[in-house]
Every structure is written in C-alpha cells, then in structure tokens.
Amino acid sequence: MQTKFKLLSILGIAAAVSSCSDSPSVSGRPNIIYIMSDDHAFQAISAYGGPLKDLAPTPNIDRIASAGMRFDRCLVTNSISGPCRAVVLTGKYSHLNGFLSNEAKEFDGSQQTFPKLLQAAGYNTAMIGKWHLGSNPTGFDHWEILPGQGHYYNPDFITKDGRKRNEGYVTELITEKCLKWLSGAKDQKKPFMLMMHHKAPHREWQPGPNELTLYNNVTFPEPPTLFDDYSGRGSASREQDMTISKTMRLIEDLKLYPDTMKTKNVGLNRMNPDQEAAWDEVYDPIIKKFYGSKLTGEELVRFKYQRYMQDYLASIAAVDKSVGEVLNYLKENGLDKNTVVVYASDQGFYLGEHGWFDKRFMFEESYRTPLLVQWPGVTQPGSINADIVSNLDFAETILDIAGVEVPEDMQGASMVPLLKGNTPSTWRQEHYYHYYEYPAVHSVKRHYGISTGQFKLIHFYYDVDEWELYDFRNDPQEMINRYNEPAFESVKEDLHKRLSELMAKYGDSEELTKSYLPVK
C-alpha cells in the first residue's frame, strides 16, 4: 500500500502520516525535480514555437514538453525575481508572504513553505543554485546557493559551512552540484525533491566557455515592435527605463570594452587567465569592428539588439545542456519512471518587444512565464494546456503530487487535475497581478490588474492614476489602450467588478495598495 501524508506539525505547521491507496505516483511517492532559470522568456524555448525556434533551439528543454505537458498561459503574480521565488515557495501573494520587491532584502524563512512540508512528510530536500531571497534557505536537508545575483565565472557559493569560490562556469557548476547530490539521494530510502535554480540567462548574459561563438554569425529577426513609440499606451510605458536604445549599456551589458579601458566589470574580472584569453579571442574582434563602425540611431539599436540576443541565447544554450544532463542521469539510473520534472522561469522577459529588455510590466512578454512538466505514467506525452495557471499554483501542485495535504491558507490551486488531462469546471477564469518596485531600477510604475482569456485591465497608481485596457486576443502585441473607448464600456465595467472580487479573495484592496507606497 502506498503512503500518503497529512501534516499536523512542523514549526507550527501540522504533520502526520496516514495510509492511502490512491497516491498519484507511478511506483511509490514520486521524486520531484524543479528546474528554474532566471529571466528565461517563453519566446526563447523552441517548444513554444516562434521565430527563434530553428535559429536557437532548446532540444533538451523541449524533451520535457514532448514527454509531458506544455502550459501556454502560465502567469506570474509579480513579475520580478525575488517576489516570484517567494510566491513559488509559499503559494501566497507577495502582500502575504512579505516579499513585495527585490528591495525587501530578506525573505522570512520562518513561515510555511512547501519544502518544509515535504521535509516533514519524509522527503529528502535540496536547494542548489540561485536563491536571491537574502536569508538562508530553510526546509532543506542540503543547500548550496549563490550570494545575491551570483557571478557567471568562478562564482561563490554559500553553504551551511560558509562561503567559498568555485572554479568554473556557473551553469555547469550548478549542474555538477545537482548531479552529485542526486547520486547520494537516489540511494536513500526516501523520495527526493530538488530545486535546481540557474542564474542564466540573467543580465549581463555572459555565455559560457563552450558557447562563446555559438550565435555570433546568426542574425535574429527583429520583433515588429522594436521601435514602438508607445503612442497607444499610457505614461508608464513612455516613462520606463528599460529600452535597448537608451538603457542597455555598451560596456557592462554588451561587453564592448574600448581599448582605453584597463579593467572589465566585476563579473569578467573573476575570470582566470585561460578563461579571459578564450573570451578575448571572441570579443576583441567584435569590439574592434563596433568602434570602427560608429553606428548611431536605429542602426545602433539594431546592432545592440543582435548582440543582446546572441549573448542571451548562448547563455540559454548552456542551461539547455544542463537539462539534458539531468534527464540523461535520471534515465541512466532508473529514476526516469518515478521522477516528476518541472521546468520554469521566475517570470517572463522582453526580447526587444516594445524596444525593451527586462520584465516587471503586466504585459504578456513579462507576465507570462514558461512552464513544462513531465510526470511519467500520469501526464499524456506531448499534451498542451491553455488554462490560466500561475506560479501561485506551484507549491500546491508539488505537494499534491507528493501526496501531501495542501494547507488551506495557500492561495493557489493544485494543477494535478490539469496534468491528468481534466480541467475542473471551477478552474479560474481570471488572474490577479500586483507589482510594487517603484521608484527603483528601470522605473516601471507600480500597478495591479486582472487578466482573463481575452482582456487585461491594469491600474498604474504611483504618481499617476491611469487605467489601461487591452484586448490581447485581437491586439496580441497590446498596442492600443481601449479603456476610454465606448465600445469597451461593458467590458470595462465587468473587469472592474471582477478585479474588486479578486482583490477581496486574495486579501488585497485599494486601501492596502495605497499603504504600500513609500513615504515621500
């Protein structure tokens, strides 16, 4: 008989064991590997199609989609790294888990998280890679994390024993550490849950030694909105500071160091002589050609876009190789039939759409994140789901897969029915979003809103009081704000009503929203 767990107590959380014959696993409680990259746009995963599919394929990440389910409408609650990670851990919105922005500094590790619940239920738990929550991880039997953003080359890792520099490229090092941990975990008489968090492809997109030249001779198609003038949108889109044209830096972001510069940025300064020589062999000719071309205006933007894409996608190629190594390891060690593998990003990212890079906005490219799940024997291979799901659901889903009761105070829903091919009649038809980090880097104004299957209503509320309404089914690039158009009056009224109901459901409100504003 298989075992199912009901929690009664751990750090104030309830935990106990009970028997149940309907565990969802194939053979005993399944192992779970949650792989998350940082700033990986769904547009840059070939399983999602699009213009990059054949130019920069991700064959190993695609293996998860082929063996399981691709989610096409996975939305984040707050499109920025630290808050997204806190939501994944807690299954609660930012205003409840306390981590509203990256400036929050430290996540409260004493609160309930799904790793703690799994640990109490007998799972061997580990967290390896980018943590980005300030405090040390809790609820893990083993953890090795990058301090802050971490470095691409020769990064430091923090463990329970302190901080130590590791020689190598960060994506490869995280992979090695995860495989080493798995080699020990597989021999224990308990299931395991591994959170494998990559730094890549976060800014400044430094390719690894094996990918330095991968896309240098590839010309990527420009998005049709690369030179968007935001004439159909409000002041928030016009006043942001995240454009390729003005914000993207020639030196730090694009690594175009003029000959007069004697030092490189901190990340590149960590390279050993062999790494630096290999880097310079590739980048010195690019630098020489750039400064000899004296580009300006739109031609400069086009050049910056190509360099951005070449480095960003090369960084992703190393992540894709890492995923392949993990999948191969599972198969070679007989773990593939009883291990659930999840691939996601902390949120979406702009790849030149609207002239932008970065995230933060409630517009599709940053609001929507990739999500691929393979669950052998349960999820139909090659299946596609179009329901509105969220990173708010990840904790509940992982607990449900493990046969652990989901606490009532978590705010998401288990996606297990969806993974089995059955969408409940009560599944959500709208999604709530709230972004808080302003004034701050990239100057994206605070906003909250609701998204349905067709419409999106957004309220920007810092220094402005502006509402925006988009019909993204008929205007997929969200170019025209329809809020004041008479033809959308009934849609607007319905969305306002549903937004108020969602805010009440999740314990947020206009009054609370105002209390989040900084004192001037």
Whether the pLDDT of residue 23 is over 50: the answer is no
pLDDT score of 7:
35
CA dist 297 to 105, 227, 252, 354, Å? 38, 11, 20, 16
- Pairing, β 156-159 against β 31-37: unpaired
pTM recorded for the entire structure: 0.94
Please give the Cα distance from 43 to 65 (Å, whole number): 15
pLDDT digits (tens, 9 = 90+) for 443-500: 999 999 999 999 999 999 999 999 999 999 999 999 999 999 999 999 999 999 999 9
pLDDT score of 520:
58
pLDDT score of 27:
47
Lowest mean pLDDT among 24-33, 114-123, 153-162, 180-189: 24-33
Lowest mean pLDDT among 165-169, 377-381, 392-396, 510-514: 510-514
What are the DSSP calls for 154-211, one per residue? S-EEEETTEEEE--SBHHHHHHHHHHHHHHHHTTSSS-EEEEEE--TT-TT----TTT
Mean pLDDT to the nearest integer, 235-247: 98
Share of the chain above pLDDT 70, in %: 94
Lowest mean pLDDT among 283-287, 353-357, 400-404, 512-516: 512-516
pLDDT digits (tens, 9 = 90+) for 172-217: 999 999 999 999 998 888 999 999 999 999 999 999 999 999 999 9
Please give the Cα distance from 254 to 35 (Å, whole number): 27
> Where are the chain's structural domains?
3-34+43-205+308-365+382-422, 445-515
Identify the CATH class of 3-34+43-205+308-365+382-422.
Answer: alpha beta
Over the chain, what is the mean pLDDT?
A: 93
**CATH architecture group of domain 445-515:** 2-Layer Sandwich (3.30)
Mean pLDDT to the nearest integer, 256-264: 76
